[in-house]
Structure 1
Amino acid sequence: MTTIRSTRPGYTEVEADIDQALPGTTITHIRAIAYTEVVGNPQLGDTILVNVSALAKRLGTGGFGLVVALPDALPTDPPEGPGHLVKDRYSPLQTMVLGVDDQESEHHETLANEESLDEMPVLAADLHSSLPAIIAGVRMVDPELRIAYVLSDGAALPARFSQAVAGLKDAGWLQGTISTGQSWGADLEAVTIHTGLLAAKHVLGADIAIVAQGPGNLGTGTKYGFSGLVTGEHLNAAALLGGTPIGVLRMSNADARGRHFGVSHHSLTSLTEIARPGMTIPVPDFSTLAEADRREMDTDPAAVAEVVAAQLPMLHMHEQVDVGLDGLWAGLKSSPVGLSTMGRRLPADAAAFLAAAAAGRLAAEI
């Protein structure tokens, strides 16, 4: 290992020389991530065992090596303590945590008794990149509202991978985080989305919860083969628990792929075929954008208005609510973390972030 590039709790990014070039390349110097809670703290000069499969496949979000072990500096065994929830189960890097819903948890009795979200708004989003934009929309209504992020296990399993979550917490934009299913490393751990949502309400005291996968959305170009399909199930969970489920539309005015232009087929499929009828769907009203704001965008997001208008009848089983966008552009620009979706930043794909911010605004008003 040659360089330590950055570090934050539970996460260290390094540079290292590898003993043979990546397949099909001459590259022998790479960036890699160490999740220090699992593998320990790498030091300059350490030998590391690193998984380079994502680099070999030229993946985007996953374009890092992943440190599997420090063979000459193995971490000490964790101290004896409560908790028997195993995350990333039966992989070589499975980790045992104390779940908020674990019998040994101080919160077990609360989660054993509480079965209702008491109408708390729950926003379910397809992409992790929606998270800061949703919160920006919430804060334009009331910056004092307490927001919890519930991480599903559809993409990145370690919560520490998300630079956005770290930045949002540092800025005070997030009250707390909960990793569910096989994901791990958030402030609280939970077995399911259901207990994660109940913990958001009754342990963290959240006013609003946002459910989304971590970075690394997986899609195949098929109708049902994408990791965000479970967004519909997340809305069902919120409805089952007596919350107010709000479906965040994945939109784009810049995606060259027709299936994602306007309202993405990811949203249309999960909302029409997975979610039960009766969800609340915020629809951004692009006609309410100020001209000064439009001039800062690479392309006017209203370019998708005609496409979206033709798509919305597909969502007739849900309650569609038009949301004005006045002031939201300024709110998005105030984000303490960078806004980027599929490599496109805020001015390049304004519709993506405005749709998410509109959902946050509606949740806050509710």
Structure 2
Amino acid sequence: MLETRAGEVVSCQALDSGTLLLDVQVEDARHRALAYRSLTGDVQEGDRVLINTTAGTLGLGTGGFDFVVANLSRPSGVAGAGPGHIIKLRYTPHQFSVLADEEAQPELYSQASDIGGMPVVAAFLHSQVALVAAAVKAARPEARVAYVMTDGAALPIGVSNLVRGLLAEGLLDETITCGQAFGGVRETVNIYSALICARHASRADVAIVCQGPGNVGTGTPLGYSGVEAGQVINAAHSLGGRPVCAVRMSRADPRRRHTLISHHTLTALSRIALAAALVPLPWMEPDDEAEAIRQLDELKLFERHEIRSFDGRPGITLLEKSGLDVSSMGRRFADDPLFFLAGCAAGAAAAAMLDDGFAG
């Protein structure tokens, strides 16, 4: 199903250099829509645009936005060709070229073969990026933190207000989009070159790797886009990094499969990850800790990974000071503290790895 509507732009706000937030009048209805300049060119008030309304009609979680397909008033779109020849959104009507960092710096990517022990945090949900980043900065304010956005969920990084906020608050230092994802400060071809990019081009001390907003889940163990976290663990290990798994935990999620340690994390650690990772757990109530240990022990994960406890509270404190409104599945810290503390525990672990005396 593909549903499109034509309408007139009645207001236009630039969210960043590549993303516009529009109000579009379609007959007697007002639509909120996002336009990505790399796909549509510039858009101004009074322009007539074609918007994709599919997700809104289906009631899917797009943040309440439709998306501009084309500017009918400026059909030439983006004029001129950029310096790069790597195509993103390949073989779709919106395919466009970017200058990938690999082609901009071929000598670096020809010579760099590892990431020198850099901690790489593999996360499952986009909201965890904020938790990991805040905890790293709480422990090591001088550490450079890069976010590598994969193409497992949203493809344009411009859709993420969270990333914009983290950059503005100094909790993230650089963004890298890999695969078909686009719009980061640096563009890369795949997760391996993205990690090389993070370490050697962005000079990151810690990399957080996670899909963007809008993950896909089917209620089945493998039918979830975030199981790529297991592949990230493998990639980090193969390049000489130190993988960290940001455990997805909850006491508020009503779905049994996500109670305490989510089946997504358990699946990635038991069936996808072929390399050992540091699996940080937050400080918990004794009953929760006992249940978490049972879940991990049932899959013999203590034999395959290093499982330790870290204090996530400093990350929460820093987030609160920043004023960023971070939520996951509509829940904030007060609604589901375990989720937030678990994400921050992963950041605390990554920061601890930067210490010369870290044992692990």
* TM-score, normalised with respect to structure 1: 0.89
Work out whether 1:141 is the aligned partner of 2:142: no
Matched residues, percent identical?
40
How many Å separate the matches in 2 of 1:337 and 1:158?
21
Unmatched 5+ stretches in structure 1: 21-27, 288-301
Work out whether 1:312 is the aligned partner of 2:296: yes
Note closer, same or farther for the CA distance 1:110–1:78 as it changes in structure 2 (3 Å cut): farther
How many Å separate the matches in 2 of 1:328 and 1:33?
31
Note closer, same or farther for the CA distance 1:241–1:282 as it changes in structure 2 (3 Å cut): same
Aligned equivalent of 2:26, options 18, 31, 41: 18
Deviation at 1:304, TM superposition (A): 3.9
Work out whether 1:266 is the aligned partner of 2:264: yes
Deviation at 1:166, TM superposition (A): 1.1
Bigger CA drift: 29-38 or 127-136? 29-38
* Mapped contact 1:4–1:44 kept (Cα < 8 A): yes
Q: Which of structure 1's runs of 4+ aligned residues deviate more than 6 A?
A: none
Over residues 270-308 of structure 1, what are the superposed CA-to-partner deviations in whole Å (9 max), with x where a residue is unaligned?
Answer: 111000142111111125xxxxxxxxxxxxxx7744432
Work out whether 1:63 is the aligned partner of 2:64: yes
Unmatched 5+ stretches in structure 2: 1-8, 354-360
Over residues 184-224 of structure 1, what are the superposed CA-to-partner deviations in whole Å (9 max), with x where a residue is unaligned?
Answer: 11000000000000000000100000000000011010121
Give SS of 1:110's match.
helix
Aligned equivalent of 1:131, options 120, 129, 132: 129
- How many correspondences in the alignment? 342
**Matched residue, 1:186:** 184
* Mapped contact 2:247–2:280 kept (Cα < 8 A): yes
Amino acid at match of 2:147: Y
How many Å separate the matches in 2 of 1:7 and 1:81?
22
* Mapped contact 1:50–1:68 kept (Cα < 8 A): yes
How many Å separate the matches in 1 of 2:317 and 2:47?
46
1:1-366 alignment, distance < 5 Å: 1-4=9-12, 7-19=15-27, 28-74=29-75, 77-102=78-103, 105=104, 107-287=105-285, 304-313=288-297, 314=299, 315-316=301-302, 317-366=304-353
Deviation at 1:8, TM superposition (A): 2.1
Give SS of 2:335's match.
helix
How many Å separate the matches in 2 of 1:213 and 1:126?
7
Amino acid at match of 1:14: L
Q: Supply the RMSD in Å over aligned alpha carbons.
A: 1.7
How many Å separate the matches in 2 of 1:129 and 1:138?
15
Note closer, same or farther for the CA distance 1:326–1:46 as it changes in structure 2 (3 Å cut): closer
How many Å separate the matches in 2 of 1:214 and 1:326?
25
Bigger CA drift: 60-69 or 47-56? 60-69
Deviation at 1:183, TM superposition (A): 0.4
Amino acid at match of 1:4: C
How many Å separate the matches in 2 of 1:6 and 1:76?
17
How many Å separate the matches in 1 of 2:163 and 2:13?
19
How many Å separate the matches in 1 of 2:97 and 2:79?
10
Deviation at 1:324, TM superposition (A): 2.6
How many Å separate the matches in 2 of 1:123 and 1:32?
32
How many Å separate the matches in 1 of 2:150 and 2:110?
21
How many Å separate the matches in 1 of 2:51 and 2:93?
13
Amino acid at match of 1:18: V
Deviation at 1:84, TM superposition (A): 1.1
Give SS of 2:155's match.
coil
Note closer, same or farther for the CA distance 1:203–1:78 as it changes in structure 2 (3 Å cut): farther
